[in-house]
Amino acid sequence: MSKAFYLSKNIDKYLKYMTFIKSASPLTIKHYTLDLQQAFELDKTSQSAKITWSEAELMAAVRAAFNRWAGLSLSSRNRKAATLKSFFSWAFDEENLLERDLSLQVICPKVPKKLPHFLSVDEVLAVLKTFDAKNEVPLKDKLLFLLLYGGGLRVSEACNLRWNEVHFDQKVLRVKGKGNKERVVALPSMTLKALKEWKKTSAFDDYVFGEVPLVQRTAYEMVRQSGQRAGLLKPLHPHALRHSFATHLLSSGANLRTLQELLGHESLQATEKYTHLGIDQLARTMESMHPLGKKS
């Protein structure tokens, strides 16, 4: 006989586990909460009144949810499936709340790998020239660009950067990334110089960009305007600078393990996507430079 599964109570317990034990970010918890509420329709009064669920009822709700999600993108369905797999795995492995591991019955749709957008070295130089031009671009904009491209920071990490995480003597940052995990980021001299200049002109004691963290929407707009001033053909966004940081390091001979540490990736698999960029670049070079290439 199946165990009585107290769905709402167990979802709350799972979210606390992910928050306090696994140190998931607030945004991740927000997505998990929404996915689980949608999957089991807990926002509807008739469903939320149901207290205990059988394993058969849980899987029936999951199948119905995937039918409702059929019109979503592959990546969105994949994320929701991953949430359900994680929830059921926790319930079975960690809490022994289920007779069977229902996560094995949740199939994540395959998502085609997309090559991340990145800038060429010339495009980076074009943006840097606008910071040194006579149009008086704010130093704040330049610093944000240099932290994202020079340090490979995530936009959330740059926005929340504190002065006590900046170590000028060692030329590094000690950044808290995803899952509240700390990593050391070595900074190039241009980024360090901009940080020192900004510290002289700003009176902020805690966060680098102000008395409170920089709003991410503001950061996106600052980066977009930087690309616009340089005349880039595609709109520029913060993550493209992080991709550019990784791509240019890999092209210059950095190994994947080093890149993994610098980017703060938990697994090497997340870093391996940049090898495709390197191979693609080699193919274009061969096509344009080799005597048998079409463009020669």
Lowest mean pLDDT among 108-112, 210-214, 266-270, 274-278: 274-278
Asked, for residue 138, whether it belongs to a domain, the answer is yes
Give me the number of domains the chain comprises.
2
What pLDDT band is residue 86 in, cutting at 50, 70 and 90?
Answer: very high
Q: What is the mean pLDDT of residues 85-107?
A: 95
- Whether 131 has a pLDDT exceeding 60, the answer reads yes
Q: What is the mean pLDDT of residues 64-72?
A: 93
pLDDT digits (tens, 9 = 90+) for 236-247: 999 999 888 888
100 and 126 together in one domain = no
- Is 207 a residue of the active site? no
- Is 237 a residue of the active site? no
125 and 62 together in one domain = no
Asked, for residue 294, whether it belongs to a domain, the answer is no
Residue 138 and residue 229 in contact, taking contact as beta carbons nearer than 8 Å: no
What's the mean per-residue pLDDT of the chain? 85
pLDDT digits (tens, 9 = 90+) for 184-202: 888 999 999 999 999 988 7
The domain boundary residue, chosen from 105, 139, 159: 105
State the CATH number of the domain containing residue 76.
1.10.150
Q: What is the mean pLDDT of residues 257-285?
A: 64
- Whether 75 has a pLDDT exceeding 90, the answer reads no
The domain boundary residue, chosen from 58, 73, 105: 105
Asked, for residue 112, whether it belongs to a domain, the answer is no
- Is 242 a residue of the active site? yes
What pLDDT band is residue 1 in, cutting at 50, 70 and 90?
Answer: very low
Lowest mean pLDDT among 6-10, 50-54, 164-168: 50-54
pTM for the full model?
Answer: 0.62
- Is 167 a residue of the active site? no
Catalytic residue among 142, 154, 183, 243: 154
Asked, for residue 209, whether it belongs to a domain, the answer is yes
Q: Print the domain residue range for 44.
A: 5-105
- Is 290 a residue of the active site? no
Catalytic residue among 178, 224, 237, 273: 178
| Residue 4, pLDDT score | 84
- Whether 39 has a pLDDT exceeding 50, the answer reads yes
The domain boundary residue, chosen from 105, 139, 163: 105
Higher pLDDT, 180 or 6: 6
Asked, for residue 257, whether it belongs to a domain, the answer is yes
Asked, for residue 113, whether it belongs to a domain, the answer is no
Catalytic residue among 85, 242, 243, 248: 242
- Is 265 a residue of the active site? yes
